[in-house]
Chain A
Amino acid sequence: MAEIHVIISSCDRNVGITTALRRKPVLVNFTSKLEQTMADEDEVKLFGMWASPYSRRVELALKLKGIPYEYVEEDLSSKSCLLLKYNPVHQKIPVLVHYGKPIAESLVILEYIDETWTNNPILPQDPYDRAMARFWAKFIDEKLLMTTRKASVASGKEKEQAIEEITEQLKLLESELQGKEYFSGPSIGYLDIVASVLVFWFGNLQEALGVDMFTKEKFPIIFGWIGKVVEIDAVEVCRIPKEKHLEYIRTRLEAFKSASK
């Protein structure tokens, strides 16, 4: 018989993560007949959102390492009390909760996963290679995805410029892939997990925007990599359903356009 402890705590948005942890939770004990496998999944919880590439990349890492977890889908228009408790600073997904201890920010979560579950390491061992992997991960998040966001909401000349910038950024990623099976080398790793945004999310966004710059002809090496990556079971499981995603993007863009009028 397993005991479940439910932590009830008020949602205090002004408290930092570690301060929140130091607060004394109120424990309510329930006992119930639960399978041991369910208890395993309670160890790791992921608060995520189906259309978020940041959330999907954490799922990919968990699946590649064979870590059982409970997935909690968040409605971003109505964030749960738990999410706000676990990430009071940014109030965003993804948040990984390991035995009740929260970790936020997808790149921070990926490194935590790699350091905690040391099977199938995703980051390279050598410090210089690690620095390079972190550099390109940061480039993808802070340059490519930021410019992509800009292009999504811009119009006219501003949009054209943003698309040109994205093209240059993708070219840099292409040359980083040159001569390698995967971004991480002979097998899939941290940088592939971060770059997995290119596998489903990026193409869907392009289609929703009616743009046609991310093509096999322009980026043969990246598309070759995508072809390899989708053969991996864990990656397929993290596919973002296309039609649902297209509709979601279109709805969000409409909402953004009406909000800015």
Chain B
Amino acid sequence: MADELVLLDFWPSPFGMRVRIALAEKGIKHEYREEDLRNKSALLLQMNPVHKKIPVLIHNGKPVCESLIQVQYIDEVWHDQAPLLPSDPYQRAIARFWADFVDKKIYELGRKIWTTKGEEQEAGKKEFIECLKLLEGELGDKPYFGGENLGYVDVVLVPFYSWFLAYEKCGNFSIEAECPKLIAWAKRCLQKESVSKSLPDQEKVYGFVLQLKKIFGIE
């Protein structure tokens, strides 16, 4: 029986991008469905009744929610192609730790940067850069967090690169000036088709953020 895979997603969502990259890395055929978050589909509400959020991965009618859980699920089911998590338990723990770190910090701090001003924004920018520097430390001299190939942490972090221009314009700062190694890493990832096809253009995301600011009355 052929696998039936549907991804309910929203184009600027970094969480959705993680799943797109994972599926593309492993060459997994799936149907992509764009959700209108102001008018969520009955399918989305049925498949993710707890959070009512995207992305939702529906595999043969069964939903998997939460992007880190989805990426691990994809890695475990399609374990033969392009493994994302290492096989050694300690290395897996390190990868999970940093993925958890990205989840806890990057989205919220980025959000702080484009939704606030003044002291609050400055504090957000400072912490954001500190977190990126910690990630640079973890990357070290490796081409990818996963070593020689794209791995779990790369998939989890690189989507935020599509939001960097928006953060920079809203926060009036340069991420590359502070974290050149991380930008070099992101551009290296973008050379892979699985990443370049999954990430929207930075200008498009910036335009979306400006629209959101208008809608929510944020200056």
Contact = CB atoms under 8 A, between A and B. Distances in A.
Interface of A: 14-19, 89, 98, 101, 103-105, 107-109, 111-112, 115-116, 127-128, 130-131, 134-135, 138-139, 172
Interface majority SS (helix, strand, loop, mixed), chain A:
helix
Contacts of B94: 17-18, 103
Contacts of B134: 14, 16, 89
B107 interface: no
Contacts, number: 71
Nearest to A117: B89
B59 A108 contact: no
Nearest to A20: B137
B50 interface: yes
Interface in B29-57: 50
B137 A19 contact: yes
Contacts of B62: 128
B33 to A, nearest CB: 20
23 contacts: A16-B134, A16-B137, A17-B138, A18-B138, A18-B140, A19-B138, A89-B101, A98-B90, A103-B90, A103-B97, A105-B97, A108-B100, A111-B93, A112-B90, A127-B73, A128-B73, A130-B73, A131-B70, A131-B73, A134-B72, A135-B65, A138-B66, A138-B69
A208 to B, nearest CB: 27
A131 B57 CA distance: 11
Given A103-B90, A131-B64, 12 more contacts: A14-B137, A17-B97, A19-B137, A19-B140, A103-B97, A109-B93, A128-B59, A128-B64, A134-B69, A135-B65, A135-B66, A139-B50
A40 B66 CA distance: 38
Interface string B106-146: 00000000000000000000000000001001101000000
A127 B93 contact: no
